[in-house]
């Protein structure tokens, strides 16, 4: 029993360390064709494929999807102010303001 | 007396000859977001800046030979950048010589690994050719992608820590390779880019530090039995590492060729 608890404790510590050891990253650019491409990733180089991605405007979610196999999302550029959100879990969300996304 | 003067001249010439560095310069290697960056390609002596060399100078022609290869790798994709090179005259502290300027759109997140393979340069002081295959990495937004790629170049320094993510006072570690194989006990020269760079004027600017003695201008170190080396970086800015004669090509136009591997790394201050 004690051994099982120890293994569980070790696993918990290990998984917690893994989660803390890297940070979520996102970078976006204007394709110049009326669309925006956002790329997601992590500081340890791991893929962001399948991670949630949102576009928010005036506090509302106007697009909710997942990063593709290349850890990217391409979407139509919204008119007005907007935010791109890479949501890799609690404490791992990255926000990029639309005004900072340029060609 | 004549012999003594000859010895001094030889020592001066040899000293200068050892300190050549192919620069692939850009003002900042760690970009926060996608940016258009300026690059300058100059063959000089980055610490003392006592002489700038004409890139691609040949012994049998007044016309310099063109750059052999210049490309970038991002997320494993290679893009030829030779068409982006524009000839410039670079103004060093004591003379001017031909180099190149280029502009690059660092759009994608991750590492942009630049490789510059200039034509061999004829060094008349030694009657040899020098070709420095040079790597430099720019990162966008912090995601690591290609910085540690092993390209299997004829002469190459493969980094073991990110060349754009080094605190001042910490270290850089690399492995010297020839066609993908480590070069045991490779001879490496290290120089600090000891001048401000005026990228608009294509010129070297103000000198930063003075060396207490000549051995500090070009620091000579050696790799270990596995071709690996580590060097501490005491000041912020660009540091060049050059593995002398690490390449597999040894002759050009019937003359001896030193095919060297160069990598540039940038240290940044904690602020």
pLDDT tens across B54-88, in order?
Answer: 999 999 999 999 999 999 999 999 999 999 999 99
Is pLDDT at A94 greater than 80 in this prediction?
yes
At A4 the pLDDT is: 55
Is pLDDT at A14 greater than 60 in this prediction?
no
Partner-chain contact B33 A27, CB within 8 Å: yes
Task: Give A29's contacts in chain B (Cβ within 8 Å).
Answer: 34, 107
Which helix (H) or strand (E) segment is B188 a member of?
strand B187-192
CA distance B163 to B138: 8
At B19 the pLDDT is: 74
At B7 the pLDDT is: 42
At A21 the pLDDT is: 66
Residue in chain B nearest A100 by alpha carbon: B33
Give the tokens for residue B261: 């591997």
Partner-chain contact B109 A27, CB within 8 Å: yes
More confidently predicted of B17 and A101: A101
Give the tokens for residue B91: 């103004």
pLDDT band of B266, cuts 50, 70, 90: very high
pLDDT band of A3, cuts 50, 70, 90: low
Is pLDDT at B2 greater than 80 in this prediction?
no
Partner-chain contact B109 A102, CB within 8 Å: no
Q: Cβ distance A65 to A86 under 8 Å? A: no
**DSSP conformational letter for B67:** P
**Angle value at C-alpha B150, between B148 and B155, nearest 5 degrees:** 120
Q: Per-residue pLDDT averaged across B87-102, rounded?
A: 98
At A91 the pLDDT is: 78
At B8 the pLDDT is: 43
Query: Is A14 at the interface with chain B, CB within 8 A?
Result: no
Q: Cβ distance B253 to B58 under 8 Å? A: yes
Is pLDDT at A18 greater than 60 in this prediction?
no
Residue in chain A nearest B34 by alpha carbon: A29
At A33 the pLDDT is: 97
Its pTM stands at 0.90
Domain that holds residue B210: 2-268
Which tens digit of pLDDT belongs to each residue from B121-171?
999 999 999 999 999 999 999 999 999 999 999 999 999 999 999 999 999
Contacts of B50 (CB under 8 A, 6+ apart): B16, B93, B94
Is pLDDT at B239 greater than 80 in this prediction?
yes
The position carrying tokens 């394709």 is: A31
A23-100 belongs to CATH 3.40.50.300 = no
Query: Is A43 at the interface with chain B, CB within 8 A?
Result: yes
At B127 the pLDDT is: 97
Is pLDDT at A7 greater than 80 in this prediction?
no
Q: What is the CA radius of gyration of chain B?
A: 18
Phi, psi angle pair for A41, to nearest 5° = -175, -175
DSSP bridge partners of A13: none
**Pick from B167, B136, B150: nearest CA to B264:** B136
Q: Per-residue pLDDT averaged across B86-109, rounded?
A: 97
* Domain residue limits, chain A: 23-100
Domain count, chain B: 1
CA distance B168 to B233: 6
Size of interface A-B (CB pairs under 8 A): 38
At B15 the pLDDT is: 42
pLDDT band of A12, cuts 50, 70, 90: very low
Partner-chain contact A43 B110, CB within 8 Å: no
Chain-centre distance for alpha carbon B24: 6
Q: What is the DSSP string of B68-82?
A: SEEEEEETTEEEE-G
Poorest-confidence range of A10-14, A41-45, B101-105, B247-251?
A10-14
In this structure, the strands spanning B237-243 and B187-192 are: antiparallel
In this structure, the strands spanning B255-268 and B166-167 are: parallel
Partner-chain contact A25 B143, CB within 8 Å: yes
Is pLDDT at B48 greater than 90 in this prediction?
yes
Q: What is the mean pLDDT of chain B?
A: 94
CA distance B216 to B221: 11
Which helix (H) or strand (E) segment is A14 a member of?
helix A2-21
pLDDT band of A97, cuts 50, 70, 90: very high
């Amino acid at each position: 029993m004690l051994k099982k608890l120890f293994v569980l404790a070790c696993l918990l510590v290990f998984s917690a360390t893994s989660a803390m050891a890297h940070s979520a990253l996102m970078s976006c650019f204007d394709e110049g064709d009326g669309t925006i491409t956002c790329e997601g990733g992590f500081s340890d180089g791991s893929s962001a494929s399948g991670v949630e991605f949102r576009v928010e405007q005036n506090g509302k979610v106007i697009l909710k999807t997942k990063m593709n196999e290349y850890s990217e999302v391409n979407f139509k550029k919204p008119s007005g102010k907007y935010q791109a959100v890479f949501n890799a879990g609690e404490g791992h969300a990255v926000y990029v303001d639309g005004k900072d996304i340029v060609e | 007396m004549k012999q003594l003067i000859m010895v001094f001249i030889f020592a001066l010439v040899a000293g200068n000859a050892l300190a050549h560095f192919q620069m692939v310069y850009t003002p900042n290697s760690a970009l926060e977001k996608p940016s258009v960056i300026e690059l300058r390609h100059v063959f000089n002596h980055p610490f003392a800046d006592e002489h700038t060399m004409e890139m691609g100078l040949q012994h049998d022609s007044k016309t310099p030979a063109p750059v052999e290869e210049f490309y970038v790798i991002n997320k494993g994709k290679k893009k030829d950048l030779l068409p982006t090179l524009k000839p410039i005259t670079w103004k060093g502290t004591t003379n001017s010589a031909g180099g190149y300027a280029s502009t690059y759109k660092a759009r994608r997140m991750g590492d942009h690994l630049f490789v510059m393979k200039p034509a061999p340069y004829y060094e008349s002081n030694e009657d040899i050719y020098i070709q420095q295959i040079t790597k430099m990495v720019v990162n966008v937004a912090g995601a690591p992608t290609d910085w540690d790629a092993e390209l299997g170049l004829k002469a190459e320094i493969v980094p073991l820590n990110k060349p754009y993510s080094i605190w001042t006072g910490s270290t850089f570690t690399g492995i010297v390779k020839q066609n993908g194989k480590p070069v045991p006990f490779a001879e490496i020269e290290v120089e600090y880019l000891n001048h401000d760079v005026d990228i608009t004027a294509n010129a070297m600017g103000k000198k930063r530090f003075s060396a207490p003695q000549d051995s500090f201008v070009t620091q000579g170190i050696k790799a270990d039995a596995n071709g690996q080396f580590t060097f501490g970086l005491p000041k912020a800015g660009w540091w060049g590492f050059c593995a002398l004669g690490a390449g597999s090509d040894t002759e050009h136009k019937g003359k001896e060729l030193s095919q060297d591997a160069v990598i540039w790394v940038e240290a940044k201050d904690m602020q």
